[in-house]
Chain A
Amino acid sequence: MARAKHYVMVIDLHACTGCDTCSVACKQENNLPEDVWWTRVITVSANGEANNGHAYPDVRLDYLPLGCQHCVEGPCVDVCPTAATFRHPELDCVMQDPSLCIGCRYCTIVCPYTGVRVYAQDQPRYVLPFPTGDNTIVHRAQTVEKCTFCAHRLAQGQEPACVAACPTRARTFGDLNDPDSVVAELLRSRAHFQLLPEKGTVPSVYYLI
């Protein structure tokens, strides 16, 4: 009996330097319009509470790439009235179909990971007169968009664009249900955390520490 895939993204925070190459690779691959980003890098001061006395030179700095967490039990899939948000049956990622999306933003409201979605209020705008990348998506006004784990590339047996582009190889992608996969080995051997585990969404993104 074939086991279903469980695609996960594993991001090594030791290797991530916050260069945003992944963000731009995604922007290119998905022909994202002006001001739309499906993944971005957050810069975090690890000093804890604001101004709790930490000052130069006792400072810290970390980078964390943030995009859709492709939750196994994501509430977004449940609440979408038009099934524009759905879990892909074979590719196992949470998809967003702009042709079905009516821009109600219920998905955004119930998602605990604020910032991973973009609401395109106005007509998409571009500087180039031709599309870039290989995602055939057509961006529309008044729809919600987000990372799709490059489903169009997964279907061809390729990794997501952000993973392929990362110069420090901080990002790894694979099937966690395959015990021989690189992602399974990474999670077995390195300490890691997930974002907001207490919300019970069972995210598919892991951060190695």
Chain B
Amino acid sequence: MSAHLPPPDTHPAPAVTIVMAVRNRRLYDTLAQILGRLSPPPRLIRAASPAEMCRFTAEHPALIVADAFALLEAHTSNELHTVKRCAGAAPVLALLPADAREYRDVAVRLGANGMVVVERSATDLLPEVERLLGRTPLVDGVARRISSIAQHSAPAGEAVYDESSGALSWLEDRSSRAVEALDPAGTFDAPPAATVEALAPDNGRTFLRGLTLTAAAPSGTAGQQWHARTACNLNCGGHYCGLDVTVRDGQIVKIEPADFPDDRYRRVCLKGISYVQMVAHPDRLHYPLKRIGARGEGRWERISWEQALDEIADRMRATIDAHSAESLMFFPYSGQLSALNGISGVYLRLASLLGASGSDLNQFGLDSAVPSGIQDTFGAGTGYLANDYADLPNSRLVLIWGANPVHSRMNWWPFFLEAKRGGTGLITIDPRYSATAAKSDAWLPVRPGADLHLALALLNVIVERDWIDREFVLGHTAAPLLVRDDDGRYLRASDVPGMRGAGDSPLVWDEAQERAVPAAEARQPALDGAYAVKGIACRPAYALLRAMLAPHTPDAVADKVGLAAARIIELARRYATTKPARIFTLYGIDRWHHGATFGRLIATLAALTGNVGIPGGGAGVDGFCDSALFVSDFTFPDGKAYRPINPAGLPSQILSGEPYPIKAAFVAFNNWLNQWPDRTRMCQDVLPRLDLLVTADLFMTETARWSDYVLPAAMLFEREDMVKGPGPYIQYQPAIVSPPGDCRSDLAIAAGLAERMGVGEYFARPALDYLEEVLASAGPETAGLSAQDLRERGVLRKNVPDEPPVAHAERRFATPTGRIEFYVERLLPYGRALPDYEPPIEADPDGALARRFPLVCLTEHSRYRVHSTFGNIPWLRELDREPEALLHPSEARSRGIASGDPVRIFNDRGYAVLRARLSEAAPPGAVYLSQGWQSPDFLDGHPQSLTHDRTNPANALGPNCSFSDVLVEIARERPGHGAR
């Protein structure tokens, strides 16, 4: 089942030449007829013998079809090897007399690239030919790449001289890049000679300032070697890859993927392996540090833990006394997700015990816009709910929209791959030709920020053409519910005199009874029309939706979206008629002011087509039916609870003191200054208002550098804990090696503070006891599981069924009406009861600001880092040396920017200077940055100074950061200006 949409207007393919080494005339005629269906029809040359075939290779055939076994009868296999050698680089397709393994083995040995059984030619020949021909550009591209360079090894780290282009060029080996700039001067990127010198002094290794590179100890595996099993606990998408760790002479020397009962979960990524370089990284913090001089100066004195904890506790008490317990903010975030030493663990426990403020676990402050919209549509608690990743193969079609899972969910991608192999169509909708787009069946480029236009147009088509799942729409959505004309609320039985007995049931118009009744009693609910119920004028919500959608036709939005109307209609048709279909998103569009509306629109698409609560269906972020965090009584001991603060609102609260002042912050698992917006305001206005800023971390991050105290934390290999995942499993994390220097686990750090704050007994038990407590109170999926058992076995299965969980399987929706709501009363005060178009807050192409700052500044996730974690790992920095600004050649040309030039990205709030990289994969009108780099990595400035912290007051899950709803301009940085 193909997911192919009408392809973009491509250049007409030239006719190819195919040499047919086929002796039998009738067979040749049959095959020629089949091949004539290629478009355009190929030029065929018939060769009746290997010798004849060799003569025709001068015609440079694109393909050779060889009836190898018929030829074998008359010739020796040596002569057939001649066929292969004459074929040169052209692929050979062997015809097999029968589908027998022996024939296939011989064909492989003869060098055939593909095979077709003769009697199945009618069905199999064309697909195999198209497959082989379709790969020719790739094969040619690689062959040209590896043989065009003069025969010269690649000296480690050095440039390789390219005779053909006459310029120095780098050996291309970094898959962090998308399509290379199609530079007319050469076959791959050749930084102009002038910039090579600028690159040379540091060679992109500014992060290794001060690191001494030494020869390793002599290789050898003498000494004790043992294995331990643990799990990664980063916020890379809840992968929680199991890690098999080799320890030798007290050092972690190797990391491999650990086993699972279900082998599909056995995986690791290049980052997980690179932990080996993180554990023993020379830059790891080993001792508590106290600031000397001003914040951010970077001068420190080493102090003891005693002194650090004493002083911090004293200053915390002073803050509490001067203001309130809540004025102290504990700010752990998603840097680590383990049960105890993670976001929902020890620091929030301490916050609860002290009555302090803490990170809101229900309102994350980012990644919460799209889920707000999902939640408004499907009901309370559903914002992050979606069919499990393992359910993907059940979909017949998946729209990957505003997401790049090949990069940011790289170890969930195998489930997408499994789906694709089973015939699921993958369509990626993204302004940029991403790695995910490259692995999908089709890619639809949309203009940045134009996703709402597309979603509205899809709904318009589906509604106008009545491609809805009527039964589902009538039975489970608010479509038939009557909405009052006067105040816009749903009409309820309690509104209508004479219907009081029905409580506050929402009413529908029953065409059979010709009156309004509670939805459950209707035989024929109306979806359109206008009615008066005891004098109250009202209409079905579906009629309102339809009216709202009316202007959003494919023709009306085509230019705004950047897609032809016909493609939009075809996408709507494909989505509505291929069932089950899934809309998969992540946080690309969440980073826009209108992210919640996008969430509502995709949820509405799924609801109208009946793709809710079924295997293979759904619309939502990620693929989890259960939170990937342990939230339990451990976080709320003795029923005490900290005062939650949405981090997106934290800077404003610090500035304004409303609703109450925040004067001290303890930051952990969180690179606040690097990852949250409006860095200039943070440094100049917000942080100076804090009397105390403490950071616990592994390295001197951006945030640590601005702190008063920096505490050296232990890594996941150095303390006992557990993680909730992946899939149906939970995993144990043993303490495998000792923490280096004076590093302490976060549990120990919290315990040290707690002791001094009078609540030490809550941290005094062994970690395993707390793991037991977490398992017992984290919900039914882990109830009854024993931490002791987990410690012994390393992996346990949660109490979940075998089948991958399906979201909304029970089709119970905790909305005010009990139905899926595309009409949301809560949003009436904002004028947004219906999910109509909502413009970007800043990056509106029609807005005035776009005239000064014409480029949308988009940030993507790199596969070489998880946010800022792994940014200083040498192995990974060799692959991804420095930040780059990805730019379409048209935007670069008009600004005189060449690939490799240093460029300044700027707006009224700030700037960043880094190198540009041109790519045809990037859309015009945007610049792409990769988030997570820190100040020392840039030539100057920082991209977080470009962003703002304007939030959408309508979001159900509170304020959210709109990192991508940002406009910038870009200019070539003058040589010697701003560069290090």
Residue B72, interface by CB 8 Å: no
Chain A residue nearest in CB terms to B863: A19
Residue A89, interface by CB 8 Å: no
Instruction: State how many angstroms separate the Cβ of A45 from the closest Cβ of chain B.
Output: 5
Residue B322, interface by CB 8 Å: no
Residue B600, interface by CB 8 Å: no
Chain A residue nearest in CB terms to B253: A132
Instruction: Let me know if B254 and A133 touch, CB within 8 A.
Output: yes
Partner of A123, one of B91, B157, B215, B433: B215
For the A-B complex with A19-B269, A59-B921, A130-B280 known, give 5 more contacts whose Cβ atoms are closer than 8 Å: A59-B920, A61-B438, A136-B219, A161-B256, A167-B410
**Chain A residues at the B interface, C-beta cutoff of 8 Å:** 13-15, 17-21, 23-25, 27-29, 31, 33-37, 40-48, 50-51, 53-64, 66, 105, 108-115, 117-139, 144, 161, 164-165, 167-169, 176, 179, 184, 187-189, 191-198, 200, 209
Instruction: Let me know if B878 and A17 touch, CB within 8 A.
Output: no
Residue B113, interface by CB 8 Å: yes
Chain B residue nearest in CB terms to A121: B155
Instruction: Let me know if A17 and B435 touch, CB within 8 A.
Output: yes
A58 to B11, CA, bound (A): 9
Q: Mark out the residues of chain B between 215 and 229 whose CB falls within 8 Å of any chain A CB in the assembled complex.
A: 215-221
Partner of A43, one of B11, B131, B177, B211: B177
A139 to B438, CA, bound (A): 38
Instruction: Let me know if B101 and A188 touch, CB within 8 A.
Output: yes
Chain B residue contacts of A44, Cβ below 8 A:
138, 141-142, 145
Instruction: State how many angstroms separate the Cβ of B593 from the closest Cβ of chain A.
Output: 26
- Most chain A beta-carbon neighbours within 10 Å: one of B152, B155, B213, B219: B219
A81 to B924, CA, bound (A): 54
Instruction: State how many angstroms separate the Cβ of A206 from the closest Cβ of chain B.
Output: 9
Mask of B153-166 contacts with A, CB within 8 angstroms, 1/0 = 11111100000000
Chain A residue contacts of B146, Cβ below 8 A:
66, 112-115, 195-196
Instruction: Let me know if B156 and A112 touch, CB within 8 A.
Output: no
Chain B residue contacts of A45, Cβ below 8 A:
141, 179-180, 182, 920
Partner of B142, one of A23, A133, A195: A195
Instruction: Let me know if B111 and A24 touch, CB within 8 A.
Output: no
Q: Top 10 nearest A-B pairs by Cβ distance?
A: A18-B175, A35-B157, A191-B114, A188-B104, A61-B438, A35-B156, A125-B213, A119-B153, A198-B88, A24-B270
DSSP class of A's interface residues: helix, strand, loop or mixed?
loop
Instruction: Let me know if B249 and A130 touch, CB within 8 A.
Output: yes
Chain A residue nearest in CB terms to B254: A133
Partner of B274, one of A24, A112, A161: A24
Residue B51, interface by CB 8 Å: no
- A28 with B153, Cβ < 8 A, contacts A15-B417, A42-B145, A165-B268 known: no
Residue B75, interface by CB 8 Å: no
Instruction: State how many angstroms separate the Cβ of B171 from the closest Cβ of chain A.
Output: 6
Q: How large is the interface on B (under 10, 10 to 19, 20 to 34, 35 or more residues)?
A: 35 or more
**Chain B residues at the A interface, C-beta cutoff of 8 Å:** 8-11, 84-85, 87-89, 91, 101, 104-105, 107-108, 111, 113-115, 128, 131-132, 134-135, 137-143, 145-147, 149, 151-158, 171-175, 177-180, 182-184, 186-187, 208, 211, 213-221, 246, 248-249, 251, 253-257, 267-270, 273-274, 276-277, 280-282, 406, 410-411, 413-414, 417, 420, 433, 435, 437-439, 443, 445, 863, 874-876, 878-879, 888-889, 920-924
Chain B residue nearest in CB terms to A176: B108
Instruction: Let me know if A198 and B155 touch, CB within 8 A.
Output: no
Partner of B138, one of A64, A111, A115, A126: A64
Cross-chain pairs A/B with CB under 8 angstroms, 15 sampled? A21-B273, A25-B256, A28-B255, A28-B273, A34-B213, A34-B874, A37-B173, A44-B141, A45-B180, A64-B138, A115-B154, A119-B156, A128-B216, A167-B413, A167-B414
Instruction: Let me know if A197 and B111 touch, CB within 8 A.
Output: yes
A55 to B445, CA, bound (A): 13
- Most chain B beta-carbon neighbours within 10 Å: one of A41, A123, A193: A193
Chain A residue contacts of B149, Cβ below 8 A:
114-115
A46 to B136, CA, bound (A): 8
A111 to B154, CA, bound (A): 13
A138 to B154, CA, bound (A): 20
Instruction: Let me know if B413 and A168 touch, CB within 8 A.
Output: yes
Instruction: Let me know if A34 and B175 touch, CB within 8 A.
Output: no
A122 to B598, CA, bound (A): 55
Instruction: Let me know if A118 and B156 touch, CB within 8 A.
Output: yes
Instruction: State how many angstroms separate the Cβ of B563 from the closest Cβ of chain A.
Output: 10
Chain B residue contacts of A129, Cβ below 8 A:
214, 216-217, 280
Partner of B105, one of A43, A66, A109, A184: A184
Instruction: State how many angstroms separate the Cβ of B54 from the closest Cβ of chain A.
Output: 13
Instruction: Let me know if B277 and A128 touch, CB within 8 A.
Output: yes
Chain A residue nearest in CB terms to B923: A56
Instruction: State how many angstroms separate the Cβ of A155 from the closest Cβ of chain B.
Output: 13
Chain B residue contacts of A13, Cβ below 8 A:
138
Partner of B108, one of A125, A188, A198: A188
Instruction: Let me know if A131 and B217 touch, CB within 8 A.
Output: yes
Instruction: Let me know if A135 and B920 touch, CB within 8 A.
Output: no
Partner of B151, one of A60, A114, A176: A114
Instruction: State how many angstroms separate the Cβ of A27 from the closest Cβ of chain B.
Output: 6
Instruction: Let me know if A134 and B254 touch, CB within 8 A.
Output: yes
Chain A residue contacts of B101, Cβ below 8 A:
179, 188
Instruction: Let me know if B183 and A193 touch, CB within 8 A.
Output: no
A48 to B406, CA, bound (A): 24
A193 to B152, CA, bound (A): 25
Instruction: Let me know if B920 and A54 touch, CB within 8 A.
Output: yes
Instruction: Let me know if B89 and A198 touch, CB within 8 A.
Output: yes
Chain B residue contacts of A161, Cβ below 8 A:
256
Chain B residue contacts of A132, Cβ below 8 A:
253-254, 276
Chain B residue nearest in CB terms to A170: B417
A200 to B86, CA, bound (A): 11
Instruction: Let me know if A28 and B254 touch, CB within 8 A.
Output: yes
Instruction: Let me know if B438 and A60 touch, CB within 8 A.
Output: yes
Instruction: Let me know if B131 and A209 touch, CB within 8 A.
Output: yes
A67 to B506, CA, bound (A): 66
Chain A residue contacts of B277, Cβ below 8 A:
127-128
Chain B residue contacts of A62, Cβ below 8 A:
138, 141, 438
A25 to B276, CA, bound (A): 11
Chain A residue contacts of B878, Cβ below 8 A:
34-35, 37
Instruction: Let me know if A136 and B249 touch, CB within 8 A.
Output: no
- Most chain A beta-carbon neighbours within 10 Å: one of B89, B406, B875: B875
- Most chain B beta-carbon neighbours within 10 Å: one of A58, A130, A169, A195: A130
A132 to B108, CA, bound (A): 38
A108 to B171, CA, bound (A): 15
Chain B residue contacts of A136, Cβ below 8 A:
219-221
A54 to B433, CA, bound (A): 13
Instruction: Let me know if A167 and B268 touch, CB within 8 A.
Output: yes
Instruction: Let me know if B175 and A43 touch, CB within 8 A.
Output: yes
A133 to B214, CA, bound (A): 18
Instruction: Let me know if A193 and B888 touch, CB within 8 A.
Output: no
Chain A residue contacts of B282, Cβ below 8 A:
127
Chain B residue nearest in CB terms to A62: B138
A105 to B139, CA, bound (A): 27
Chain B residue contacts of A209, Cβ below 8 A:
131-132, 134-135, 138
Chain B residue contacts of A114, Cβ below 8 A:
146-147, 149, 151-154
- A17 with B141, Cβ < 8 A, contacts A24-B274, A119-B156, A191-B114 known: no
Instruction: Let me know if B921 and A61 touch, CB within 8 A.
Output: yes
Instruction: Let me know if B257 and A59 touch, CB within 8 A.
Output: no
Instruction: Let me know if A196 and B11 touch, CB within 8 A.
Output: no
Chain B residue contacts of A133, Cβ below 8 A:
253-254
Instruction: Let me know if B216 and A17 touch, CB within 8 A.
Output: no
Instruction: State how many angstroms separate the Cβ of A13 from the closest Cβ of chain B.
Output: 8
Chain B residue contacts of A48, Cβ below 8 A:
137, 140-141
- A50 with B863, Cβ < 8 A, contacts A61-B433, A66-B146, A128-B280 known: no
Instruction: Let me know if B152 and A54 touch, CB within 8 A.
Output: no
Instruction: State how many angstroms separate the Cβ of B78 from the closest Cβ of chain A.
Output: 14
Instruction: Let me know if A55 and B182 touch, CB within 8 A.
Output: yes
